[in-house]
Structure 1
Amino acid sequence: MNPITRRPLLAPLACAGLLLSAMGTSQAQGSDFPNKPVTLYTAFAVGSGPDAVLRLVAHKLSTQWKQTVTVDNRPGGGGFIAMDAAKRGAADGYTLLQLDSEHLAAVPHLYKKRNVDTLKTFDPVAPLFRTPFMVAVPAQSPWKNMSDLLNDAKAKSGGLSYGSWGVGSPGHLGGEWLESITGVRMTHVPYKEVSQLYTNVATGEVAWSFASIPSSQGVYKAGKIKYLAVAAPKRIPQLPDVPTMAEAGGPAQLDVNSFVVLVAPKGVPAAVRNKVHADVLAVLADPEVRERFNTFAFEPLAWSVDEIGRNAAAKSSQYEQLITKAGITLD
């Protein structure tokens, strides 16, 4: 082969060499991860259900990785406090962040002036769990099912109130969705303190609220509230006697839930992300972890990274419609 015919092969060979080098670097990054402490930021407060299970996951990962895994709580500010802290970290897997589906899918539509897109700032890394929500009403409420609640709401035309743990929360957007499906009008009352919300549901100061098991079990076990339905297509094993939304006479398509995942600053190496994903799934399969999740009615998830993105996109589309229709803004 003469010099003229040899020369065009040099560029492809050089590119191939660079590609192999990059692949080798990526694999090396994954093989020795982690070789220093890892920080898990969370947008949830100390003592909350998501915090409690994250600490167990962190403990299990620490044992598995033989490195310190620290949980750093940064609640408040619609999730921005935790997100701002995490995004200052390097995209190397040593900074991770626990967020829920509302941080991923609702925040960009609630804070349009901030021009934020959570999934353009962070990469999905690993799934954690999904939690269902029940419809909670005072224990002495005359309502026996969702048909009773909806008929009363229709008769009062906006006079019936429902509470939530904040504007843009699943409890709020779930209520907007219920109104959109059924055509009834109700009045949303947001609370800053979750405990106060369910105390006020118990006393009838608000007529009803969506509720998770961890947030409402104290009032429920005290016999002060009851659950009319679980806003899901299937009953949950923790409350087998509570009917589904459809069984209780509500709209069958109403499925109010929230999922929680781990993300990392954008650009985390694929090999590192794959290792964290695999190791978290191994932790979620641990019987001790599953038992702990079960006490909160948290369903461990085995989603791939792509599935996290697809589920977040589906939530985003739904939330965008609800938020736009209701004219909700937090700017």
Structure 2
Amino acid sequence: MTSIRFNARRAILRAAAALSLGAALLPSAFAADNFPAKPITLVVPFAAGGTTDILARIIGQYMSEDLGQSVVIDNRAGAGGNIGAQMAARAKPDGYTLFMGTVGTHAINESLYKKLPFDPVKDFQPLSRVALVPNLLVANPQQPFKTVQELIDFAKANPGVVNFGSSGNGSSIHLSGELFKQMADIDMQHIPYRGSAPAVADLLGNQVAIMFDNMPSAISHVRSGKLVPIAVTTAERSPELPDVPTIAEAGIPGYEATSWFGLYVTAGTPEPIVAKLHASLVKALQDPKLVQKFADQGSTAYSETPEEFAAFMASETQKWAEVVKSSGASLD
């Protein structure tokens, strides 16, 4: 009799535990089924009108149509993207705050800044990279080199003579040049500017010799003949300039430096909601109309799994940490 009572009591406890677990899971499942029930905020850590903002708005439009709720862009510029990243990292993990991260916020800044107000890995759940933007190695036409090998030969024969402009210390444009210096084993002088526009202006005036500029801002000057395209920094040639070789094939095997952009959600967001957001994002990135809109901006649409994105981030962080250390760049 005692055994029967014990077994009955154990069965009741098991049933109660199962009911409790089911009740605990219901809110998450219900939230995912009904997500989104209100507008979603997409935090962009740079000012309106830049490449990050433009791509985010395109993505937001497509995801809004798919999810049935508005995706509202919130520009929070400053500190190389850190202000916006910190805001998104501290948001409620309910899927209603997305973040448009970059190679800066999630691969470079960790090594560049002495104190980072967020953790790129622990504070964010990656969804997918969304776009790749090649940098273009361009030179003023008055310079005595037109190819990667000619540039390397000239720099080795004239140490420290070649200077290269950038949009600022620690930017992807700056570090693309530092990576080139390391791999080519040459001495070039870095000239930092407050933004890409003034750097390009001095490049056009031959105040600086070369620049590793983002494709969207350099391509019009290449097409007009005001700048000489030497090579692209990506692993493959750009469809926009198919006759321009990659740096890797032109003389530095293994060289690759890409400005990339990715979408994140705050860490701790329920997995069903993460899955729903990822599915909507991938659907948008595979839409031919979006692909063309990205191409019009000099960007390549890209989609992957959250796991693939996380692995890519880890490799990028390690690569740029070594470049930052070698360059000596550091910001407060």
* Alignment TM-score, normalising by the size of structure 1: 0.92
Q: CA deviation at 1:29?
A: 1.8
Q: CA deviation at 1:17?
A: 4.3
Structure 2: runs of 5+ lacking an equivalent: none
Separation in 2 of the partners of 1:161 and 1:18?
67
For the structure 1 residues 115 and 79, does the alpha-carbon distance in structure 2 shift closer, same or farther, using more than 3 Å as the test?
closer
Alignment partner of 1:170 out of 165, 169, 172: 172
Q: CA deviation at 1:80?
A: 1.6
- For residues 143-222 of structure 1, what are the structure 2 equivalents within 5 Å? 143-222=145-224
Aligned to 1:2: 4
For the structure 1 residues 116 and 60, does the alpha-carbon distance in structure 2 shift closer, same or farther, using more than 3 Å as the test?
closer
The answer to whether the Cα contact below 8 Å between 2:140 and 2:204 also exists between their aligned partners in 1 is yes
The answer to whether the Cα contact below 8 Å between 1:56 and 1:289 also exists between their aligned partners in 2 is yes
For the structure 1 residues 130 and 5, does the alpha-carbon distance in structure 2 shift closer, same or farther, using more than 3 Å as the test?
same
Of 142-151 and 1-10, deviating more is 1-10
Structure 1 SS opposite 2:248: coil
Structure 2 SS opposite 1:71: strand
Q: CA deviation at 1:191?
A: 1.4
Structure 1: runs of 5+ lacking an equivalent: none
For the structure 1 residues 191 and 15, does the alpha-carbon distance in structure 2 shift closer, same or farther, using more than 3 Å as the test?
farther
The answer to whether the Cα contact below 8 Å between 2:85 and 2:118 also exists between their aligned partners in 1 is no
The answer to whether the Cα contact below 8 Å between 1:37 and 1:94 also exists between their aligned partners in 2 is yes
For the structure 1 residues 4 and 170, does the alpha-carbon distance in structure 2 shift closer, same or farther, using more than 3 Å as the test?
same
The answer to whether the Cα contact below 8 Å between 2:89 and 2:118 also exists between their aligned partners in 1 is no
Q: CA deviation at 1:6?
A: 5.7
After superposition, what is the alpha-carbon deviation per residue over 1:177-203, rounded to whole angstroms, capped at 9, x for unaligned? 112212212111111121111121122
- Asked if 1:294 is matched to 2:295, the reply is yes
After superposition, what is the alpha-carbon deviation per residue over 1:285-325, rounded to whole angstroms, capped at 9, x for unaligned? 22211111112231211211111111110011111112223
Aligned to 1:77: 79
Structure 1 SS opposite 2:255: coil
Q: CA deviation at 1:139?
A: 2.8
For the structure 1 residues 89 and 174, does the alpha-carbon distance in structure 2 shift closer, same or farther, using more than 3 Å as the test?
same
Of 302-311 and 152-161, deviating more is 152-161
For the structure 1 residues 67 and 158, does the alpha-carbon distance in structure 2 shift closer, same or farther, using more than 3 Å as the test?
same
Q: CA deviation at 1:10?
A: 6.6
Aligned to 2:130: 128
After superposition, what is the alpha-carbon deviation per residue over 1:77-101, rounded to whole angstroms, capped at 9, x for unaligned? 1112212332342111111111102
- Asked if 1:31 is matched to 2:33, the reply is yes
Separation in 2 of the partners of 1:166 and 1:11?
64
**How many correspondences in the alignment?**
330
The answer to whether the Cα contact below 8 Å between 1:108 and 1:115 also exists between their aligned partners in 2 is no
Separation in 2 of the partners of 1:15 and 1:225?
70
The answer to whether the Cα contact below 8 Å between 1:121 and 1:266 also exists between their aligned partners in 2 is yes
* Alignment TM-score, normalising by the size of structure 2: 0.92
Q: CA deviation at 1:73?
A: 1.4
Aligned to 1:327: 328
After superposition, what is the alpha-carbon deviation per residue over 1:202-241, rounded to whole angstroms, capped at 9, x for unaligned? 2221111112221223322332112101123321211111
Of 118-127 and 259-268, deviating more is 118-127
- Aligned AA for 2:235? P
- Aligned AA for 2:306? V
Of 319-328 and 250-259, deviating more is 319-328
Of 61-70 and 12-21, deviating more is 12-21
For the structure 1 residues 20 and 213, does the alpha-carbon distance in structure 2 shift closer, same or farther, using more than 3 Å as the test?
same
The answer to whether the Cα contact below 8 Å between 2:128 and 2:306 also exists between their aligned partners in 1 is yes
The answer to whether the Cα contact below 8 Å between 2:184 and 2:252 also exists between their aligned partners in 1 is yes
Separation in 2 of the partners of 1:11 and 1:305?
38
Structure 1 SS opposite 2:247: coil
- For residues 88-127 of structure 1, what are the structure 2 equivalents within 5 Å? 88-114=90-116, 116-127=118-129
| Identical-pair percentage | 31
Q: CA deviation at 1:116?
A: 4.2
Separation in 2 of the partners of 1:113 and 1:66?
39
Separation in 2 of the partners of 1:147 and 1:174?
17
- Aligned AA for 1:44? F
Separation in 2 of the partners of 1:190 and 1:16?
62
